[in-house]
Amino acid sequence: MIRSPLVSVNAALRRARGRQKLLNDNTFWPICQSWGQSSEADPALARPPVLLLSYPGMPIIASAKKRVRTANRQYEENNLHRSRARTSVKRIRDLLAAGKTAEALAELPRAQSYLDKAAKTNALHAHVAARQKAGLAAAVKADGNKDKTPKRVIPKTAAKGKTAAKKPPAKAAAPKAGPKKD
């Protein structure tokens, strides 16, 4: 019994449901292309061609096609904001590693602005942006204070001969009224 190429194409499509690799492969496309051509050697190939207009992941409905376009635009925009934020964070880290604290301090507001914009457009999660902003500010502050020696803290003591006036004791709480007895 001769097995029809249509069966193998349908089987391949079932196996590849949701997988684009097999559909982009040329494993069964030659069968689809030769399907429908008249062949005197094999009359099974004389059937009408199989129409594979698109792979299973491609939308057919107009609103779904529009959703794909908008998702691609949104991906590009998110990628732009995410990339700017990461680049500015990396630039500040590199400046701090090189010991250029003043330049890093000047660059800090721009990085914070990029992180805020990425969080606003949901390119980065808001907590991630906040954490990175706090980390950058702390790193710049720590690097700026590295050269300064901490001041010696002298504890404050009361002057001799003067004592602080004590507060009068708090009034005793009034007893709570209990249930009335007849």
Task: Say whether both 83 and 126 belong to one domain.
Answer: yes
The structure tokens listed for 103 are 């330049």
Residue 101 lies in a domain: yes
Identify the domain containing residue 124 by its residue range.
62-144
Residue 163 lies in a domain: no
Residue 56 lies in a domain: no
Residue 54 lies in a domain: no
Task: Say whether both 132 and 76 belong to one domain.
Answer: yes
Task: Say whether both 66 and 138 belong to one domain.
Answer: yes
How far is residue 91's CA from residue 99's CA, in Å, rounded to a whole number? 12
Q: How many domains does the chain have?
A: 2
Task: Say whether both 88 and 39 belong to one domain.
Answer: no
Contacts of 131 (CB under 8 A, 6+ apart): none
Task: Say whether both 80 and 105 belong to one domain.
Answer: yes
Burial 137-164 (b: 16+ CB within 10 A, else e): eebbeebeeeeeeeeeeeeeeeeeeeee
Task: Say whether both 82 and 34 belong to one domain.
Answer: no
Task: Say whether both 71 and 103 belong to one domain.
Answer: yes
Contacts of 144 (CB under 8 A, 6+ apart): 101, 105
**pLDDT per residue of the chain (182 residues) written in tens, 0 to 9:** 455 544 555 565 555 555 444 444 444 444 444 445 555 555 555 555 554 444 567 788 999 999 999 999 999 999 999 999 999 999 999 999 999 999 999 999 999 999 999 999 999 999 999 999 999 999 999 987 776 655 565 666 655 656 667 777 777 777 777 777 65
Give the CATH number, domain containing residue 89. Answer: 1.20.58.110
Task: Say whether both 88 and 118 belong to one domain.
Answer: yes
Task: Say whether both 72 and 137 belong to one domain.
Answer: yes
